Structure 1
Amino acid sequence: MSDHGRHGVTLIALDDKRPVIADSAFIAPGCVIVGDVTIGEESSIWYNCVLRADVSRIVIGARTNVQDGSVIHCDGPDPRRPDGYPTIIGDDVLIGHMAMVHGTILQDRAFVGLSTTTMNGCVIESDGMLAAGALLPPGKRIPSGELWGGRPAAKMRDLPEMALAEMRLGVAHYVHNAKRHNEAINGG
């Protein structure tokens, strides 16, 4: 994994922590990545995202995408929670444009819709979905196979197998599209 050679990307080491990014990951120009951030193989961080791990850590697995304008942060330790609220994002996760993911765990294949907000202590289980525009309040958990929406978010319905299959297609699309953008930016 490396943290160099990325055009138009701001990578900032803070204290003794620096971003660690898989060579196969796509980081679009305009992104700012600070501190204790790890990004896995074939993941993509799209234009003008901010990932700031200055008080805890952010871990992003393989083939996950964080779409344009999203912000990912974490929360530091306190007397009741010595590890704080790191943001841990699994493999094959879809995070829509302009999402705010804060101190949250997104398990493999979770989906976070456009313009959503997740807050400290939230968990979206594998194959769980937060609908566009929703706010998931602190400590809430979306079980596998459920769609939640609203402000504050609540269960809307169970997800049919077709919706889960479409999310998997979305992951494959973003892996492919990131390669196209990387070639365009880096000249092949």
Structure 2
Amino acid sequence: MIRYAFNKMLLAFKRRYNYDVGYQQDILQADLSAFLKFMGLQTMSAHTGKLPTGPLYAARLRAIIWDDCGPCTQLVVNMALEAGLDPALVRALIDRDLQHLPAELVLVVRFTEQVLAHNPEADELREQIRALWGDKGLIAIGFAISSYRVYPALKYALGYGKACSRIQVNESFLTPTRESALAEGAGGV
């Protein structure tokens, strides 16, 4: 009965976002205990810490793009648009077009990339984030960075990884930019 209820929830998610939930259904059918643990991850990844939508999705999008450029990224784009993030900002985040992002989103993009690269330059950026949004905001960004990377890794591990694809933002199609400030050299935004 519980598997039926969870599967119904997964199918509703699939319809809402046009997203393949097959890997989640496989986990549910193979190991209910593992699926319940996976649901715990869902709770972590949904945490907002009352962070504004822009910084939250800047971290989520740049983290997911670090490891994926296909269906997982499209899902996060759809969620960002549903949450009311301006499509122009979503496009700029996908393209890593820092000139068209507000300073606070540039900060989150740079911080996310430095954290993912294990670069000590994240320390200075962390303090700027803490000054803007406090410890709760920093935790929300940390949860976004760490939890959003799990989904593509898990999908690839279970054989559901997909090749890179173009991402749709309303009527526009984009190829995610995976380069970072690390590739551009030190010091620049």
Q: Which has the higher contact order (CA 8 A, sep 6+)?
A: 2
TM-score (normalised: structure 1)? 0.24
TM-score (normalised: structure 2)? 0.24
Structure with max Cα Rg: 2
Higher strand residue share: 1
